[in-house]
A and B are shown apart, each in its own frame.
Chain A
């Protein structure tokens, strides 16, 4: 019902109004920088639909009490009205004084979801309940923050197209404690995500350059464990390379380190994909980067304006994908 009503009216006055109000709030508040403590001047509050219905019911109760000249019914109506007002202040206080201690956005592939992390600190003596954090057009996240404690909230955002993507506005709201009022604020944090091209498999991988060598997988298949030495596990190592046998024998977590023969690498070159449209070519390059990482191979990236030397690992992957994301954008 809701969605059909939306599509029938192209104007969507409510959305327009919200956009206008949030733009006004943006100009009023200016850019935010974490850490940031929410003050009451930037917190807005309105009754929810349930709140409006409750107000109408309260009026009915009040009229009944007045008409029957019934003192107890009148007092009940007044008490409930007071109760609702108290909840309004509690709703407002749920956001006031909340600290946003950090904000970070992770890169993502285009047309998928990326992660956004916000750190919160609640310095008050009561739990802040029913907080709701939302980026435009993505499912909101509900969370609570215990008294005098911090928490990290991860929210998915929708990565659109390759390049830089600004997340201009976060919507932080709550309808605690009763759901009769909703208090909200807009956060304009300097959040900019780098969006990698969406990986796309169109062509086979370019052959390895330099001395031909067996791929890691082929060596494995041959049953030869030809690695040169083991070194301790580091966070950035791919799990695939963990020497599980050593671990199973009761040893520490170690990583097999292969002595890659010099020149045993693939060069991923945009020039080889000249026949494809640019975006698709970049997508293919991204796919190859991922594939090389999967294979544990070393790779170099050649773009017309820059070239990245061969290497592998998380850092190489990131550098390459960033270069792809920013190429001519």
Chain B
């Protein structure tokens, strides 16, 4: 054999095929990851991934039918174009995840070596990350965990290059490693310093968040969607406010073009002076992300929350951060349902809240004129308009007909049906037409008590609109015109707890059980949202406080992280030593191993061929000071281990002697 052939043999890359079972494992993991993203990626991604996996299974049984380089690049270009067509961008979570799915499906066409399969698994892990970024809903978490387990087991399966291990063992190994990693992950999660902002600007998702917005055009809506999504959760320090006081104030709308009400973003002065009376309610709010950036508060709070930076109070008593809330926030407030404006309305504001489009809704103007003529003062006029709405066959519906350009005329004289937005809009217009400044307030009404979580839950479906009217003698007055039309709104708004009690009185146990389970689930969900999803720097510092630490800063966090991480690592090292040596078979072996370890440190290790007595003799020869006690110990071990029988007492006696020897070795 010549030297040339030899060196050629050396250069040969080892061809290690990945067994078909392992391949299917990885494919299942990839498909699982694609499925978890199915709701936000392009529709063609899932079929593409399934086709890729099916092809790979088919190709695994045939001699390498892998795709060549040129067609692969061509397909990649086509798939990239497909993503571009679907999303008009390659940027952003949805487009990025779709592109990743396309690339992984393509990668399957050339997957051959261990490294290729590792890349597929890496891609699947990134898809899992994308799924986490897309949704953190609690019920998905077990699915995410299962997928992670599958993928980690896939990493084990692909990594076992010399011989494939049975699936059961691989699953167990992956589960064990993940469980060991979990404490570290939780420590990092709790103590790793977070950003307060973002590193780079996040692409805006243009999906509408249900609930409140900057505008309100009731005429354009033909169906209110009941969204069970939580809007905010409130924990009260004391008793709850009565049901009729649960007006949660949000964005205030001033400008009306006859069809749409919208907010004023200009700074029109400081909030008016208020006089508070009656009971107050102290509470803390967890507010879900929203687009309008207004902090929802019980009508009407005093001051601004002090535990949030950059919140200010506008001229119309909105609490706002000035920008959309991209993540949930928590804050504390103190509200007084009874309050009074103690200064007069400045002229620009009066003008703003009186303005009406000149040409729209002529019949409504006429109606206002007539009603105004018949009222002796402002208060009487408000009552007259409410009476008109109550007595003329108006109905509350969540599926109203669409309205035309003269939306108020259509409502009052044609359709006679609508929801809160319609009536608030009509009432405010009638007030303005009658010479009273009025504004539309959007927010939420009601809330359901969750006894498991101890909080009041306000859902997006409880969004509401009402009005505030300026009366010269008492200031701003809250008027909810929907209340006179739909008394059911208030009766039907019995919270879940009330419903459960009602069911308990009359209905079956099952209904009660369902209601209770629903509440418990909501409470768990709330905990998840508050404590996990919305975990941020302020909560981190709060945690430091609860741990009894005075310095609530990044240095403390990092110190804690280092300490606990080091503890975890040393536990891991300790486990590694156990893995390397194997478990001692019984208590006697454990004692013997303790002795061996001590001797290894202080003298030398036992050679594999040495028996206990020979080992003892050797060490005794080298270390005369140990000789006497060591000879006794090693002979005793040999007697117990190789003798016919030993009692538990003898074993314990030996263990005590070993401990004595190892902790206080003779000098």
Q: Which residues of A contact B (CB under 8 A)?
A: 3, 35-37, 39-40, 50, 53-54, 57, 61, 63-83, 85-87, 89-90, 92-93, 95-99, 101, 111-112, 121, 123-127, 129-131, 137-140, 142-144, 147-148, 158, 175-179
Contact = CB atoms under 8 A, between A and B. Distances in A.
A138 B8 CA distance: 11
Given A129-B160, A143-B162, A35 B6 contact: no
Contacts of B607: 35
Given A57-B126, A85-B181, A158 B6 contact: yes
Contacts of A178: 155-156, 159
B195 A179 contact: no
B660 interface: no
A93 B573 CA distance: 9
A35 B606 CA distance: 11
Please name the 4 residue pairs, one residue from A and one from B, whose CB atoms are nearest each other, closest first. Answer: A82-B181, A97-B580, A96-B580, A78-B185
A85 B118 contact: no
8 contacts: A35-B609, A66-B199, A73-B132, A82-B181, A82-B182, A82-B184, A127-B165, A179-B159
Contacts of A66: 194-195, 199
Given A71-B533, A85-B184, A92-B576, A130 B160 contact: yes
A82 B125 contact: no
Contacts of B452: none
Interface in B147-168: 148, 152, 155-156, 158-163, 165
Contacts of B345: none
B532 A71 contact: yes
Contacts of B608: 35-37, 99, 101, 121
B159 A175 contact: yes
A67 B195 contact: yes
A144 B163 CA distance: 7
Contacts of B125: 57, 61, 80
Given A39-B605, A67-B195, A76 B12 contact: no
Contact of B181 (A74, A79, A137, A148): A79
A251 to B, nearest CB: 41
B199 A72 contact: no
Contacts of B273: none
A86 B174 CA distance: 10
Interface residues of B, number: 75
Interface string B293-334: 000000000000000000000000000000000110000000
A327 B129 CA distance: 69
B181 A144 contact: no
Given A73-B129, A82-B184, A179 B158 contact: yes
Contacts of B162: 129-131, 142-144
B173 interface: yes
A80 B573 CA distance: 18
A4 B194 CA distance: 46
A130 B608 CA distance: 24
Contacts of B177: 83, 86-87, 90
B380 interface: no
B115 A50 contact: yes
Interface in B1-16: 1-3, 6-7, 9-12, 14
B565 to A, nearest CB: 10
Contacts of B583: 125
